[in-house]
C-alpha cells in the first residue's frame, strides 16, 4: 500500500519509511506528494497530535496518509517532556538543547529512579475521513551521558529495557545498557515505540481497510485507537 508520511522531519521520515518498506508498503514524503503543510500540533496527547497531522495532510493530498506523534515520558518528571519533547528547551527541533535540558532536570536523580518510556501514536487516515490510531511503548531509562551516534532526538540518552536480536530473532534483555543511539536500525526497530506502533497498525490494517473496524477503543469522529496493552 502507498502512504504519504505526514512529517517534515527528515529523521522521522527515514525511520518510518524503513519500517513501512520492510512491511511491503511504499512511502511518499509530503514534498513528493506536493503537500507543503506544517500543521500546528495543538493536541494535549500524542494521539490527538498524530490525528491532527494525518487528517490535514490527507485532506490536502487525497491519499492514504500516516502520521506519528511521539515523545519521551520520564517518571521522575511526572511524564515530561511528553508531548513537548521536540521543544522541551523552548525551541522546536533542537536535539542538543533538548538533551541538555533533560540532563539538567534529572541532575541528582539516581539510576534507580530514572525510569522512562518512549511513546508513539501512529495515525492512519484515508480519503473520506476514516482514521485509526495505533500506540506503541518502549520502556527503559534515561542515562547520565550521551552515548552513540545513530538515531536522533533523545536516542543518545534513552536506554531501552530490551534490544532486537539481529536476523529477526525476537528481542533480548539489554544487558549491556546500550542506548537507542548505539543500536543498529534492525535492533532498534524491533523494540522501538514507533516500530511497535507500526506492527500494531500492520496487524489491523486489512480489517480497517475492509470495514473501518479495528480491535480497540473509539476516540471520536471516526477515529479508533489501539493501545499497547502489554506496556499499559
Cα torsion angle, 178, 181, 187, 192, sign: positive
Residue among 68, 69, 155, 228 flagged as catalytic = 69
Q: What is the pLDDT of residue 169?
A: 78
C-alpha cell at 57: 495532510
C-alpha cell at 102: 533533560
DSSP per residue, the chain: -EEEE----HHHHHHHHHHHHHTT-EEE-TTTTT---------SSHHHHHHHHHHHHHHHH-S-EEEEEEEEEEGGGTT-BGGGGGGTTSSTT-HHHHHHHHHHHTTT--GGG-EEEEEEEEEEE-TTS-EEEEEEEEEEEE-SS---SSS-TTTTTEEESEEEPTTT--EEE-TT---GGGS-HHHHHTTSHHHHHHHHHHHHHHHHHHHS--SSEE-STTEEEE--GGG-
Q: What are phi and psi of 159, to 5 degrees?
A: -110, 105
To 5 degrees, how large is the angle CA 168–CA 154–CA 103? 135
pLDDT in tens, 149-202: 999 999 999 999 999 998 777 999 999 999 999 999 999 999 999 999 999 999
Cα torsion angle, 55, 61, 64, 70, sign: negative
Determine whether 228 is an active site residue: no
User: Residue 230 above 80 pLDDT?
Assistant: no
pLDDT in tens, 115-126: 999 999 999 999
Q: What is the pLDDT of residue 218?
A: 36
CB 6 within 8 A of CB 66: yes
Residue 215 banded pLDDT, cuts 50, 70, 90: low
The whole model's pTM is what? 0.90
**Of 162, 136, 4, 166, nearest in space to 71 by CA:** 136
Listed range (62-66, 175-179, 221-225) with the worst mean pLDDT: 221-225
C-alpha cell at 109: 536523580
pLDDT in tens, 8-53: 999 999 999 999 999 999 999 999 999 999 999 999 999 999 999 9
What fold, for 2-231? Maf protein (3.90.950)
Q: For the chain, give every domain's residue range.
A: 2-231
Amino acid at each position: 500500500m502507498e502512504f504519504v508520511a505526514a512529517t517534515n522531519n527528515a529523521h522521522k521520515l527515514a525511520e518510518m519509511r524503513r519500517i513501512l518498506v520492510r512491511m511491503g508498503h511504499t512511502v511518499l514524503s509530503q514534498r513528493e506528494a506536493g503537500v507543503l503543510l506544517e500543521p500546528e500540533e495543538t493536541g494535549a496527547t500524542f494521539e490527538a497530535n498524530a490525528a491532527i497531522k494525518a487528517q490535514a495532510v490527507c485532506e490536502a493530498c487525497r491519499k492514504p496518509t500516516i502520521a506519528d506523534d511521539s515523545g519521551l515520558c520520564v517518571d521522575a518528571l511526572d511524564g515530561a517532556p511528553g508531548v513537548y519533547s521536540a521543544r522541551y528547551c523552548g525551541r522546536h527541533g533542537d536535539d542538543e538543547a533538548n538533551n541538555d535540558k533533560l540532563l539538567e532536570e534529572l541532575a541528582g536523580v539516581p539510576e534507580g529512579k530514572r525510569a522512562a518510556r518512549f511513546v508513539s501514536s501512529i495515525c492512519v487516515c484515508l480519503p473520506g475521513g476514516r482514521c485509526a490510531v495505533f500506540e506503541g511503548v518502549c520502556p527503559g531509562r534515561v542515562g547520565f551521558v550521551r552515548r552513540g551516534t545513530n538515531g536522533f532526538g533523545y536516542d543518545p540518552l534513552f536506554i531501552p529495557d530490551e534490544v532486537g536480536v539481529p536476523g529477526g530473532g525476537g528481542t533480548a534483555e539489554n544487558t549491556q545498557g546500550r542506548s537507542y543511539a548505539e543500536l543498529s536500525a534492525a535492533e532498534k526497530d524491533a523494540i522501538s515505540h514507533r516500530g511497535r506502533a507500526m506492527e500494531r497498525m500492520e496487524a489491523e490494517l486489512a480489517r480497517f481497510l475492509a470495514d473501518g473496524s479495528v480491535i480497540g477503543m473509539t476516540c471520536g469522529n471516526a477515529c479508533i485507537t489501539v493501545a499497547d496493552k502489554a506496556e499499559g
